[in-house]
Amino acid sequence: AIGKVKIVQIAGIVARRIVPYIRKGESITKGERIGIIRFGSRVDLYLPASKTNIYVKENNLVKAGEDRIAEISS
């Protein structure tokens, strides 16, 4: 286990469409889909800085299942 991470899904002004598949406090596994955000919504991801190698930059557009965001060492 890598410890806790924080994922914040933020609805966009226009569509306000977020569909979470998990609840607060649930454990997830590598590659698991945790929800859908649509139409200008966003996700903020908070990872442990000392253990994380980040592959994207702020404001990059990433696609689920295709883009690698970061790697966390154990």
* Mean pLDDT value across residues 33-57: 84
- In this prediction, residue 56 has a pLDDT band, given cuts at 50, 70 and 90, of very high
The pLDDT value given to residue 1: 59
Catalytic-role residue among 27, 41, 50, 74: 41
Asked, for residue 40, whether it belongs to a domain, the answer is yes
Asked, for residue 1, whether it belongs to a domain, the answer is no
pTM of the model: 0.68
List the structure tokens of 3: 């410890």
User: Could you list the residue range(s) of the whole structural domain that residue 51 is in?
Assistant: 6-72
Asked, for residue 55, whether it belongs to a domain, the answer is yes
Q: What is the total count of domains within the chain?
A: 1
Asked, for residue 23, whether it belongs to a domain, the answer is yes
* Mean pLDDT value across residues 3-16: 78
The pLDDT value given to residue 55: 93
Asked, for residue 16, whether it belongs to a domain, the answer is yes
State yes or no: is 74 an active-site residue.
no
